[in-house]
């Protein structure tokens, strides 16, 4: 080769007047400059090796001839002076474009990159070559495949183990669920699955326990409704008996009152017997009142049935009692809904119901406390009874009729649970002897029944008592103002 490749640099020289007077020119011969090739390799690949061989390979070409390289001295004689393929020469030297591909150098395949070297006039005069051992990537690919196969096999083994483990857990839980369903089917509605947070079936257990609790609540409601129906039948029988007894007693009482008054008129004003006779007349009048209450309890429905605004009846009844002495220290709160449908009923008899409940509430609070009266419309929904709390209301809604609900709550001492099932029976009372006949709530119960309604009670000792009245709603709208 009669030509050489030099890496040249020039630096301008100026005189004291900063005028250019010359240039300092220097150059490095690239031919056989293997140290430069080694520096390029160090800059690109460092000291990394693969299987004891430098991973990187660099070379400088003049035209298509290799003039320097970093290959070890033993192989350098073979490497220097070697020419590149015509494909590479045409692409890089002739066209001035880069070439990337695989090349076989000294028996090893390299991933190679050739880029043209240009002179100052932009003429392609040579190439710079860098390559990296292809074996590194083949080995890494082989390792990756082996690792992937190992992970796959391990995953398959673990999956099989998990499959059998989960299968055993599922079968075990199915057996537990089967036992639970059999227990519920046999009537043990309070059966609950034990909480198992670690098996992954916690949600299923919770759902099953919720279902079991719901079935138990429904069963309890049915039992309560059955008790209510039984109580209704018992009260109806008592009403018939009371009516018969009242009719039998009423005539003798009338005679006693008549003749007692006649005797009283004939007695001298200073007779000591007049005092006893007045007691006879007083007690006879009291008995006659009790008999009349019994007749009211068993009385047939009134013919005086009219559309009524329930809020007006409540407010009128409150007006009657508000100024009585027993209500002086009682705070009365009303929350009466607007635009309520009317109810069909006997005004005087409904007023009697509310009057009785208001007075009972005042007595229960020892004439001091808070009496709260609310009204609202219960509208039947196809499957949603979430807004309805009490069992009686649910039965009402199942009839398909919208109901007016009247709530009368006091802050008194409450009623013991053992007494609540008898609260509407004639002559049953929780008051002290001589304080009541025990017919007020019985009469109220009968009146509400005659209006195709329901009356129920909820009370806990120390937490007051709440009465609930439900009456079928009509179509006339109450246009009164807000009563809150």
Supply 403's token pair: 């109901």
Q: What is the pTM of this model?
A: 0.44
pLDDT-above-90 percentage for the chain: 14
Span(s) in the chain for CATH 3.30.565.10: 303-484
Q: What is the pLDDT of residues 225-244, one digit of tens each?
A: 666 666 665 555 555 566 66
Sorted by sequence, the CB contacts under 8 Å of residue 137 that are 6+ apart come out as: 111
8 Å CB contact between 414 and 459: yes
Torsion of Cα atoms, 284 then 289 then 295 then 299, to 10°: 160
Say whether domain 303-484 belongs to CATH 3.30.565.10. Answer: yes
- Helix H or strand E segment including 142: helix 134-185
* Mean residue pLDDT across the chain: 79
pLDDT in tens, 447-480: 888 888 888 889 888 889 999 999 988 764 444 4
Asked whether the predicted pLDDT for residue 341 surpasses 80, the reply is yes
Angstrom distance (rounded) from CA 13 to CA 22: 5
> How many Cα atoms are found within 13 Å in the side-chain-facing hemisphere of 452?
13
3-state secondary structure 24-47: EEEEEECCCCHHHHHHHHHHHHCC
Higher-confidence position of 106 and 39: 39
- The domain 6-134 is classified under which CATH number: 3.30.450.20, 3.30.590.20, 3.40.50.10320, 3.30.70.100? 3.30.450.20
Tokens of 268: 């001298």
User: Where do the CATH 3.30.450.20 domains begin and end in the chain?
Assistant: 6-134
pLDDT bin (cut points 50, 70, 90) of residue 205 is: confident
Q: Are the C-beta atoms of 366 and 360 separated by less than 8 Å?
A: no
Listed residue (307, 311, 378) closest to 343, CA to CA = 307
360 closest CA partner among 246, 447, 442: 442
Please say whether the beta carbons of 343 and 472 come within 8 A. Answer: yes
């Amino acid at each position: 080769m009669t030509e050489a490749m030099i890496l040249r640099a020039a630096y301008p020289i100026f005189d004291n007047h900063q005028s250019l007077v010359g240039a300092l020119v220097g150059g490095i011969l690239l031919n056989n400059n293997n140290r430069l090739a080694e520096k390029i390799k160090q800059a690109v690949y460092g000291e990394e090796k693969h299987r004891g061989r430098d991973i990187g390979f660099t070379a400088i070409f003049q035209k298509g001839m290799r003039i320097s390289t970093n290959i070890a001295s033993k192989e350098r004689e073979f490497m220097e002076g070697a020419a590149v393929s015509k494909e590479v020469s045409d692409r890089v030297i002739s066209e001035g474009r880069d070439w990337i591909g695989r090349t076989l150098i000294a028996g090893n395949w390299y991933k190679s990159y050739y880029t043209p070297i240009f002179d100052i006039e932009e003429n392609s005069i040579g190439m710079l070559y860098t390559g990296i051992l292809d074996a590194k990537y083949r080995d890494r690919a082989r390792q990756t495949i082996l690792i992937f196969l190992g992970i796959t096999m391990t995953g398959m083994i673990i999956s099989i183990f998990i499959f059998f483990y989960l299968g055993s857990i599922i079968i075990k839980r199915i057996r537990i669920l089967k036992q639970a369903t059999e227990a519920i089917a046999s009537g043990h509605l309070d059966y609950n699955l034990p909480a198992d947070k670690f098996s992954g079936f916690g949600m299923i257990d919770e759902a099953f326990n919720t279902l079991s609790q719901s079935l138990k609540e429904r069963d309890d409601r049915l039992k309560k409704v059955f008790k209510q129906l039984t109580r209704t039948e018992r009260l109806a029988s008592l009403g018939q008996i009371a009516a018969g007894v009242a009719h039998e007693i009423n005539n003798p009482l009338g005679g006693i009152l008549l003749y007692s008054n006649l005797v009283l008129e004939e007695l001298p004003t200073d007779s000591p017997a007049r005092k006893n006779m007045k007691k006879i007349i007083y007690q006879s009048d009291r008995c006659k009142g009790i008999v009349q209450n019994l007749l009211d309890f068993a009385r047939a429905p009134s013919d005086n049935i009219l559309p009524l605004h329930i809020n007006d009846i409540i407010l009128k009844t409150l007006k009657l009692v508000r100024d009585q002495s027993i209500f002086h220290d009682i705070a009365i709160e009303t929350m009466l809904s607007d635009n309520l449908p009317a109810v069909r009923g006997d005004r005087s008899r409904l007023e009697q119901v509310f009057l009785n409940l208001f007075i009972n509430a005042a007595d229960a609070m020892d004439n001091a406390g808070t009496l709260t009266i609310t009204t609202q419309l219960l509208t039947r929904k196809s499957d949603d009874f979430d807004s309805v709390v009490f069992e009686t209301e649910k039965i009402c809604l199942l009839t398909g009729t919208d109901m007016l609900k009247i709530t009368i709550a006091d802050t008194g001492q409450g009623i013991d649970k053992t007494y609540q099932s008898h609260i509407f029976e004639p002559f049953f009372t929780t008051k002290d002897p001589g304080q009541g006949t025990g017919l007020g709530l019985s009469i109220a119960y009968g009146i509400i029944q005659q209006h195709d309604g329901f009356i129920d009670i909820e009370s806990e000792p120390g937490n007051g008592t709440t009465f609930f009245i439900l009456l079928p709603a009509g179509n006339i709208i109450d246009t009164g103002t807000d009563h809150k």
